[in-house]
Structure 1
């Protein structure tokens, strides 16, 4: 009877008790599953500078590369071994897309909080299954949609919130590069979840959903344009949100400068060139720290063109650090998730509708 009473008390622990528990726990033990370029240069630094997280383990199948920068971490050869050792409370999955579902499911079923690199899974039905498991177990499940915290999209959020352009009718988002040669990585190989639509398209679609919600319909053209390409390397996706047309496009054969964003409204327009400064800084090995992190030089700011005046418009600070701070806060019951799994499911459903639209050559009704 005494055991049953103790169990009952634990099951009905109130919110204050939960907060006290997490305060006593200290930093949240965090493990990276995968230590490729993105894991090494972006996820690991962001985790290590987050005051509430501690990188304690990395899953590397063959190497121990992570120990060069983080000698204190434990290396595991498989996710199974990591979970069996109960070495972490938060599992961050940064492996190729085809492994996301099985690995996230395994971690959730082991009672671990999970962050999965975008787009979370390949199919929306898989993401829905993960959502159900997380909800049943009371676990945090989120998707690394870091480009919600690009400086340019944060600037557009500010412009829209202040109504500077009046009623917006057109939103255009580009992610163009010039990479005519085929790369030797999984995204350009004949594997599930490959291609530019699941990669860059996920970011652009997520930003549009963040701004405008669920679209009314989807129309898309998705191509393999480079000689010998087996994965899609171009997309042009149109989403309609009431009277707002959103055009999302990306190419790896765009050498000429193209605007990153173009927003048109009844009172004026906003145009922005160039990528957020954070990715370049991560690739250079810079830690996401200091007062100048994520700040863009004035010469790169976008332009605001109103009826009687034009001006450069200061770009907001880009700050990917906010993502992991929010994850830590959600685990400790302080805040709700900034990137909930429901929105990731919507993004996947739009990607699925985009491929169907290209296949059938027509608009796909979407809004439910």
Structure 2
């Protein structure tokens, strides 16, 4: 009899179908048992073995389900996570973890009371470029980092008719891409002293934020997070400057495009970044040496492997609920900063 953990995936839109379902299905020790979706045909086209249900409550009531993955619209994350935890399930919530700090804290309290693992899907910790940057910082290749620019720009001039781009709680780029960029900076440098955010609707007919420019202030470091939807020249991903050098990275991690195209993490060459970054290091004589920096392969499958181990062995989850709470604190501080047009202290 299989000892695999049975997973119920809630939602089969972009997040569910492109990210979670393939990663769960490819992780030894996990079984994509159930998908809650209104489109059984779409689910079975890629995962014929999965049971399809229309109502999340049916999945929560099934004693065979061990883990629930919440990949539904943002305003449903907290209610569904709370219901799953109340039913005794382990839970993973796609980003954003919640709509606000209050929801996040209630989810954490519910997980503690239930004695279950609760995590957030901040998969971009396993982007090839972020892994490369982490290795450079660990090696001291840039000296003390004083300036970081993290961009996730696109050129999408037409506003699509989807919930992410409509007016409403949890919509817009700051909730969509913001959690990824915030989580990466917090992972590297911890919480900032203050947050200063400029959020905007730039596209014709925009109903939700489609631009953000946010500065996280540290004692010496300034971390700038930026995303826009009207950026034809959207090549820059990272520009990181320190007392000993700079690292410049263009192009996005390839894993999302690979998953969208139907590739699987088990395919040869998975996660190889075709555009490694450029490292510029200050030499003893003051000159600057330029070289391509080594780039590890991106590794989204590592998330679910670590989550499996956290459930089975009690090891720390790959992204803990406390870390997700810190991200939500920055997201909320950014909203307040933009609304009041001022820097918000982060205490």
Give the TM-score category using the shorter length: over 0.9
Q: Is 1:364 aligned to residue 339 of structure 2? A: no
- TM (norm. structure 2) is 0.96
Are 1:28 and 1:53, in contact at CA under 8 Å, matched by a contact in 2? yes
How far apart in 2 are the matches of 1:257 and 1:178? 7
* 1:43-122 alignment runs, 5 A limit: 43-122=20-99
Q: Is 1:174 aligned to residue 151 of structure 2? A: yes
How far apart in 2 are the matches of 1:121 and 1:196? 15
Deviation per residue, 1:20-42 (Å, 9 max, x gap): xxxx8611001111111221122
Q: Which residue of 2 aligns with 1:239?
A: 216
* 1:6-25 alignment runs, 5 A limit: none
Distance 1:63-1:72 versus aligned 2 partners, 3 A rule: closer
Q: Which residue of 2 aligns with 1:318?
A: 298
**Number of positions where the alignment pairs a residue of Structure 1 with one of Structure 2:** 342
Residue from 261, 271, 284 that aligns with 2:261: 284
Q: Which residue of 2 aligns with 1:14?
A: none
How far apart in 1 are the matches of 2:263 and 2:327? 31
Residue from 329, 334, 338 that aligns with 1:349: 329
Deviation per residue, 1:249-307 (Å, 9 max, x gap): 0000000144200110111100000000101100100011144110122xx11101112
What's the offset of the Cα at 1:241? 2.1
Are 2:174 and 2:209, in contact at CA under 8 Å, matched by a contact in 1? yes
Root-mean-square deviation (Å)? 1.2
Deviation per residue, 1:9-59 (Å, 9 max, x gap): xxxxxxxxxxxxxxx861100111111122112211100110010011110
Per mean C-alpha deviation after superposition, the further-off stretch among 133-142 and 61-70 is 61-70
What's the offset of the Cα at 1:155? 0.6
Q: Which residue of 1 aligns with 2:273?
A: 296
- TM (norm. structure 1) is 0.91
- SS at 1:222 equivalent: strand
What's the offset of the Cα at 1:61? 2.8
Q: Which residue of 1 aligns with 2:118?
A: 141
Are 2:154 and 2:234, in contact at CA under 8 Å, matched by a contact in 1? no
How far apart in 2 are the matches of 1:257 and 1:40? 26
Residue from 313, 318, 326 that aligns with 1:333: 313
How far apart in 1 are the matches of 2:235 and 2:13? 30
Are 2:145 and 2:241, in contact at CA under 8 Å, matched by a contact in 1? yes
What's the offset of the Cα at 1:112? 0.2
Computing the radius of gyration from Cα coordinates, the structure with the larger value is 1
Are 1:196 and 1:232, in contact at CA under 8 Å, matched by a contact in 2? yes
What's the offset of the Cα at 1:334? 4.5
How far apart in 2 are the matches of 1:324 and 1:62? 25
Are 1:27 and 1:52, in contact at CA under 8 Å, matched by a contact in 2? yes
Are 1:115 and 1:142, in contact at CA under 8 Å, matched by a contact in 2? yes
What's the offset of the Cα at 1:62? 4.8
What's the offset of the Cα at 1:238? 0.2
Structure 2 unpaired stretches of 5+: none
Structure with the higher fraction of residues in helix conformation: 1
What's the offset of the Cα at 1:86? 2.8
Q: Is 1:41 aligned to residue 21 of structure 2? A: no
How far apart in 2 are the matches of 1:257 and 1:226? 16
Q: Which residue of 2 aligns with 1:3?
A: none
Structure 1 unpaired stretches of 5+: 1-23
How far apart in 1 are the matches of 2:292 and 2:90? 43
Are 1:64 and 1:75, in contact at CA under 8 Å, matched by a contact in 2? no
- SS at 1:125 equivalent: helix
Are 2:68 and 2:92, in contact at CA under 8 Å, matched by a contact in 1? yes
Deviation per residue, 1:120-158 (Å, 9 max, x gap): 111111111110111111100001100000010111100
- SS at 2:226 equivalent: strand
What's the offset of the Cα at 1:225? 0.6
- SS at 1:296 equivalent: coil
How far apart in 1 are the matches of 2:159 and 2:66? 38
